[in-house]
């Protein structure tokens, strides 16, 4: 369908897609959960049976100064500093009685600097936030007063499915930067991978492009905001009709970059977050999990990925655990 | 056994307990996981079967400025600030094309400010860190170079057991500040609660004192560092012999405060972290989970509590999910 | 004149005062300096002749965690952390060749946490900023795009005058909390102090209440936002007609607290900053300077108090130096 | 003298220079001021007479994200964030009565990120800090317990002298990267500039290389830590014998880079800070002042450059004001 996009008119494409896929009002006017509503207790209970061997895979990059950020929108890499160290304990003045020593630390970081969830207050369409609310009434300098990420803190655990598009249709397991993953590519990947990768209502879908493996070899380069493989704008309809609870990729920005219009910035976000109410994860490290899935042919698993409940946050770092 | 402690001599008591319960070298000289070694894939797989209804409970307090910290050791409450808001998107200069608006945010916080795991580099005994290493060779101003919390990022998911000591033996569901929970109290709680609360090798044990419920009613007061119910120093032997993978409480400091010696500071930490290699969680919110357990009489569940992998951190915020 | 204020109607009082004292447009529609326009090179040159002995007085409180802030509006005390220490240099792994060792550090702090200047973008009156601009067009999440404190970085040095109202009319050198300093009190202080304390066009006026001395004895208490001596709302006319370049006090909030209306918050700020365009300093430490002035009877001096030019800041920490 | 340096043996050169120029013990064993001891009240009083026109020049770069830092040693550029904005005041929920609106902000930054003073606790020689103290007893994770920059807060104001080496002996006003400024070059510059640039005891000397002008044209590039013009290691003797109170340059690192030894890192710092006790300023913006001096031929002026007194800091941002 990419071929059918009018590259010169993102605004119309966004408007049309938004009206086709809107979940506004679907769960009531007070709703703050969006697509997490699809992830019911029943589905969560069923998902637990996917744990067979007990093997656990963190899908989180480490948070440190050696990260992809380059300062765009004041997004730095995390700055972790020590408040006291083992050297203080061993050689400094005694702080505590009976030989006790302690180390403490602190961090300063943008909430979108590495492996994360976008909250529903992260993106707006013409001043509208999720569920038809005015952006300025939702997110002020006090934070997201309505859909702050803390509202999702109980919910994000259920069936995870890996769609390793990089392995299924890429070269040497990786998609090239600028590769737009269409719904067809997703279906093709499911077919290649087999029955365990069928996507169902309430799923947490992980899409591996292989870009993270590439930047690990070559250096971060323009990983944060540069060219990347990713979801095509045209997947908006599938993102809606599949009734998934959330989706995450191994890239900075989830959707293909450069975007599929002449002058555009993250148009799929503009449809997916305020209109679908979709939870989007970015910069997840899917490498170890994907290698395991390739080996045993099982692409479904238990996934716990509860955001850190920073009150009023429009995004959150997360250490997702996939268990097979 | 509290009565048998010589209140005037914490150093000797710590030395004696440490030699009884030491796991130094137990998992090899390069080990960085400590008691997480008890949590094997097999046990993790078995634990998944505890998910019945799919009900999910976040055990995390929200991270915000309305927290318990009062600045001790430069531990402030989290400071969450917006880099851009819905007001900017709605009324400010347009930053993006086609009506896209975005909100971003950042946080600065001590890693021990709220619901957290202590890492193995958090506490030292006479300049010794976990597994017999010199504190100054483990934790420098660069962070924990050996047992940084990121080394535990794959591991912390398995069987959780709630010991609601507050409900079992407290008044109106709460233990008084200064109440020292002994091994006997723990056994008594298990007996009251029934078979589902039996503690086994590899478990993640949650001890509810009820103090958090109390400060919620009365205000934070001295929650951060003041008097509190908590584990007695005398539980060190049980913490070791039970071969649990980790333990967490709803209090600031895990162990009873004031501590059970005339002049002391967190003596049980000094035994538990560097000698047992035990993962200790603090300030967990067990209220909703405990209410549910009291109602259905089931005190075991699946627990995902993977730390945020901040490279070199000696502690980590965490959003633990208990699923029943 | 305090007696004449209608305590029930701050809005009308503010509107009336604002229209009497407005400097809007006085220095052109592009002006960003406000009352700093009064501080000309000629006046600055003349002020240098006030340096006689070369004695230098810092009027700055130290920036550290032992400060007055209690978290109101996320204003914490500064958090200063080390990136590397002398212990690292002496006992840690060698970072540099030939025996070089280095220590580095970092700070996180609200710009209004201690000794500071309010910038012209700090306060608005009904959505209007200084010089008739719309608040939302001046200060966005990107900062103050027009009157950021960096625009004042060259200017703040000239004649300083201390009005030690605490010593002149207080008890034991201090005014009580809630004491409203009127224009009459200021004039009385000048008369008591003598000719060197005459206030002239372009001056930087320092008003000592003695409250800082009191909290130094008694603990911070409610210094940040509680009751305090300070300028009466009725001084607005004098602040305007005196044509001073700036004014600073030893209190948190410059004006008397509780404010002189039944329900109000810093009404004098609302007149002084957006309408007069006045630079207001707060939490200055005037103790040593005041003791010296009391001794030699000279209340005028050279004052350098250039703000730290944080781009887009609405306030700035400052280390003011008074030289006699 | 550069030609006489044995490029293969920085350690011996440092040791030899250190023993020649040591001020250890010169001002008593408790001294914390180092070369600021040279800047007496008498000299300060005399310096005030250098103010003629009252023209004021800030020598400070603005502190913002568009800075030179690239993350080396976790030195980021400043991150300035708003706690509330004019948009909140104009369009958000009313926070205050009677139409008052307010904007607040916060900053996180390394203290060495831009225009700054190095404190005496910033550099060590083989584990020794200024005045013969052990580095680990001076600077712990609590900060510099002895020579914290706050100890200098009253002192740094006096006679400033600009040595515009870039204009005097450079091409088009700039020295090339890697150009080592020797004592001879400094003398030559003084001769070219004339009598007002004579350097005397207690002076604050500003050395302009022109590199900052160059990076302003070309982009920051490797300004932070890359090749740069700067003081030759061989100037150590002059830095000592001249009895100056402090010295600052328009470069990141004060001394020439690459350093004048095969494998070395900032060897002149290692002599100047712990042995001479010299206050060194870096990244000062001397452009406007230098242009003025070139025009009127007067290279001496009043200079106020008091550090921001962050308790225990080993360096400090500063907004130096030169007044002619």
Q: Taking Cα atoms as reference points, which of B109, C77, A106, C60 lies closest to residue D316?
A: C60
Cβ-defined contact of B79 to C84 (cutoff 8 Å)? no
- The confidence score (pLDDT) of residue A4 equals 74
Cβ-defined contact of D81 to B85 (cutoff 8 Å)? no
Contact assessment for residue A312 and residue B64, using Cβ atoms and an 8 Å cutoff: yes
CA distances from B122 to A103, B143, D200 (A): 5, 11, 52
| Sites in chain B below the pLDDT cut of 70 | 1-3
CA distances from B124 to B36, B278, B282 (A): 19, 13, 18
B-D interface: how many C-beta pairs under 8 angstroms?
Answer: 27
Across the interface, of C71, C91, C141, the residue whose CB is closest to B85 is: C141
Across the interface, of B58, B73, B143, the residue whose CB is closest to A309 is: B58
The Cα–Cα gap between C100 and C87 comes to 13
Across the interface, of A73, A85, A122, the residue whose CB is closest to B139 is: A85
Cβ-defined contact of D65 to A74 (cutoff 8 Å)? yes
DSSP bridge partners of B105: B82
- The confidence score (pLDDT) of residue A2 equals 45
The Cα–Cα gap between A264 and C30 comes to 34
Q: Chains contacting B with at least 3 CB pairs below 8 Å?
A: A, C, D
Contact assessment for residue A130 and residue A277, using Cβ atoms and an 8 Å cutoff: yes
Q: Taking Cα atoms as reference points, which of B123, C42, B202 lies closest to residue D52?
A: C42
Pairing type for strands D139-140 and D143-144 reads: antiparallel
Across the interface, of B76, B87, B141, the residue whose CB is closest to C76 is: B76
| Extended strands (E) in chain B | 56-58, 79-84, 100-102, 104-110, 116-118, 123-125, 139-140, 143-144, 157-164, 180-181, 204-208, 230-231, 246-249, 279-282, 300-304, 315-317, 321-323
Average pLDDT value for residue range C169-188: 98
Across the interface, of C10, C56, C100, the residue whose CB is closest to D154 is: C56
Contact assessment for residue D277 and residue D138, using Cβ atoms and an 8 Å cutoff: no
| Residues on chain B touching D92 (C-beta within 8 angstroms) | 87
Cβ-defined contact of B139 to A103 (cutoff 8 Å)? yes
Cβ-defined contact of A106 to C81 (cutoff 8 Å)? yes
Half-sphere exposure of D258 (CA within 13 A, CB side): 6
Cβ-defined contact of D62 to C267 (cutoff 8 Å)? no
Cβ-defined contact of C89 to D43 (cutoff 8 Å)? no
C-D interface: how many C-beta pairs under 8 angstroms?
Answer: 375
Q: Chains contacting A with at least 3 CB pairs below 8 Å?
A: B, C, D
Interface of D with B (CB under 8 A): 79, 81-83, 85, 87-88, 90-92, 106, 108, 141
Average pLDDT value for residue range C139-156: 98
Across the interface, of B76, B77, B140, the residue whose CB is closest to C92 is: B140
Task: List pLDDT tens digits, range C4-59.
Answer: 789 999 999 999 999 999 999 999 999 999 999 999 999 999 999 999 999 999 99
Element holding C300 (H helix, E strand): strand C300-304
DSSP category for residue D51: -
Cβ-defined contact of D82 to B81 (cutoff 8 Å)? yes
Nearest residue on chain A to C139, alpha-carbon basis = A141
Cβ-defined contact of D100 to C64 (cutoff 8 Å)? no
Interface of B with D (CB under 8 A): 79, 81-83, 85, 87-88, 90-92, 106, 108, 141
Q: Which of B63, B66, B71, B92 to substitute to test the interface with C, most C CBs within 10 Å?
A: B71
The 3-state DSSP class for residue B72 equals: helix
- The confidence score (pLDDT) of residue D72 equals 85
Residues 6+ away with beta carbon under 8 Å from A168: A188, A189, A192, A193
Across the interface, of D88, D108, D142, the residue whose CB is closest to A108 is: D108
Pairing type for strands B204-208 and B157-164 reads: parallel
- The confidence score (pLDDT) of residue C1 equals 43
Contact assessment for residue B31 and residue B37, using Cβ atoms and an 8 Å cutoff: yes
Across the interface, of B87, B88, B136, the residue whose CB is closest to C92 is: B136
Cβ-defined contact of C81 to A83 (cutoff 8 Å)? yes
- The confidence score (pLDDT) of residue C73 equals 85
The Cα–Cα gap between C319 and D295 comes to 31
DSSP bridge partners of C321: C58, C304
Average pLDDT value for residue range A43-64: 98
| Residues on chain A touching C83 (C-beta within 8 angstroms) | 81
ipTM of the complex: 0.97
Task: List pLDDT tens digits, range A1-33.
Answer: 445 789 999 999 999 999 999 999 999 999 999
Mean of all residue pLDDT scores within chain D? 97
Q: Which pLDDT band, with edges at 50, 70 and 90, does C133 fall under? A: very high
Nearest residue on chain C to D150, alpha-carbon basis = C62
Q: Taking Cα atoms as reference points, which of B53, B205, B157 lies closest to residue A324?
A: B157
A-B interface: how many C-beta pairs under 8 angstroms?
Answer: 374
Q: Is the pLDDT of residue C248 over 50?
A: yes
Task: List pLDDT tens digits, range B191-245.
Answer: 999 999 999 999 999 999 999 999 999 999 999 999 999 999 999 999 999 999 9
DSSP-assigned letters across all residues of A63-119: BSSSSS---GGG-PPPEEEEEE-HHHHHHS---SSTTEEE-EEEEEEETTSSSEEE-
The Cα–Cα gap between B130 and B22 comes to 10
Q: Taking Cα atoms as reference points, which of B272, B282, B260 lies closest to residue B110?
A: B282
Q: Taking Cα atoms as reference points, which of A62, A117, C172, A150 lies closest to residue B153?
A: A62
Element holding B62 (H helix, E strand): none
Cβ-defined contact of C91 to A91 (cutoff 8 Å)? yes
Q: Which of B72, B73, B85 to substitute to test the interface with D, most D CBs within 10 Å?
A: B85
CA distance A109 to chain D (A): 10
Angle at which helix D211-218 crosses helix D287-296, to 10 degrees, equals 120
Nearest residue on chain D to B88, alpha-carbon basis = D87
- The confidence score (pLDDT) of residue B1 equals 43
| Residues on chain A touching D77 (C-beta within 8 angstroms) | 71, 76
Across the interface, of B108, B136, B142, the residue whose CB is closest to C108 is: B108
Cβ-defined contact of C141 to B79 (cutoff 8 Å)? no
Residues 6+ away with beta carbon under 8 Å from A18: A125, A270, A271, A274, A275
Average pLDDT value for residue range C249-269: 98
Other beta carbons within 10 angstroms of residue D174's beta carbon come to 20
Average pLDDT value for residue range D106-128: 97
| Residues on chain C touching A83 (C-beta within 8 angstroms) | 81
CA distance B138 to chain C (A): 10
Buried b (16+ CB within 10 A) or exposed e, A159-193: bbbbbbbbbbbbeebbbebebbbbbebbebbbeeb
Nearest residue on chain B to C139, alpha-carbon basis = B92
Task: List pLDDT tens digits, range D46-55.
Answer: 999 999 999 9
CA distance D179 to chain C (A): 22
Q: Is the pLDDT of residue A140 over 60?
A: yes
DSSP-assigned letters across all residues of A264-311: -S-HHHHHIIIII--EEEES---HHHHHHHHHH---EEEEE-PPP-BT
Interface of C with B (CB under 8 A): 65, 71, 74, 76-77, 79-85, 87-88, 91-93, 108, 136, 140-142
Nearest residue on chain B to D106, alpha-carbon basis = B81
Nearest residue on chain C to D273, alpha-carbon basis = C102
| Residues on chain A touching C310 (C-beta within 8 angstroms) | none
Task: List pLDDT tens digits, range A254-300.
Answer: 999 999 999 999 999 999 999 999 999 999 999 999 999 999 999 99
| Residues on chain C touching A82 (C-beta within 8 angstroms) | 81-82
Q: Which of A64-68, B43-47, C176-180, C307-311 has the lowest mean pLDDT?
A: A64-68
The 3-state DSSP class for residue B168 equals: helix
Question: pTM (2 decimals)?
Answer: 0.96
The single residue listed with the structure tokens 């006489």 is D4
| Residues on chain C touching A85 (C-beta within 8 angstroms) | 85, 87-88
- Token pair of D99, please? 């139409």
Mean of all residue pLDDT scores within chain A? 97
| Residues on chain C touching B142 (C-beta within 8 angstroms) | 84, 88
- Token pair of B227, please? 């008097």
Task: List pLDDT tens digits, range A222-261.
Answer: 999 999 999 999 999 999 999 999 999 999 999 999 999 9
């Amino acid at each position: 369908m990419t071929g059918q996009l009018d590259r010169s008119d993102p605004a119309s494409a966004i408007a049309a897609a938004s009206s086709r896929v809107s979940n506004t009002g679907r769960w009531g006017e007070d709703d703050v959960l969006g697509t997490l509503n699809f992830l019911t207790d029943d589905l969560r209970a069923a998902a637990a049976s996917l744990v067979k061997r007990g093997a656990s895979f963190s899908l989180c990059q480490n948070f440190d100064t050696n990260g992809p950020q380059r300062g765009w929108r004041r997004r730095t890499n995390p700055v972790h500093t020590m408040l006291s160290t083992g050297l203080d304990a061993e050689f400094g003045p005694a702080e505590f009685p009976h030989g006790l020593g302690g180390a403490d630390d602190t961090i300063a970081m943008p909430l979108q600097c590495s492996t994360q969830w976008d909250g529903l207050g992260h993106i707006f369409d013409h001043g509208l936030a999720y569920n038809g609310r005015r952006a300025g009434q939702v997110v002020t300098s006090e934070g997201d007063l309505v859909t702050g990420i803390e509202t999702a803190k109980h919910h994000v655990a259920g069936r995870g499915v890996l769609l390793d598009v990089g392995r299924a249709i890429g070269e040497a397991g990786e998609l090239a930067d600028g590769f737009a993953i269409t719904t067809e590519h997703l279906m093709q990947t499911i077919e290649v991978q087999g029955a365990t990768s069928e996507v169902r209502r309430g799923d947490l879908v992980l899409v591996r492009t292989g870009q993270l493996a590439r930047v690990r070899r070559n250096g971060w380069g323009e990983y944060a905001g540069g060219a990347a493989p990713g979801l095509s704008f045209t997947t908006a309809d599938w993102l809606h009709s599949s009734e998934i609870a959330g989706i995450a990729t191994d890239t900075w920005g989830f959707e293909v970059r450069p975007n599929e219009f002449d002058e555009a910035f993250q148009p799929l976000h503009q449809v997916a977050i305020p209109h679908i109410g979709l939870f989007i994860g970015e910069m997840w490290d899917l490498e170890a999990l994907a290698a395991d899935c390739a080996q045993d042919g099982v692409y479904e698993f238990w996934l716990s990925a509860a955001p850190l409940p920073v009150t009023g946050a429009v995004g959150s770092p997360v250490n997702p655990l996939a268990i097979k």
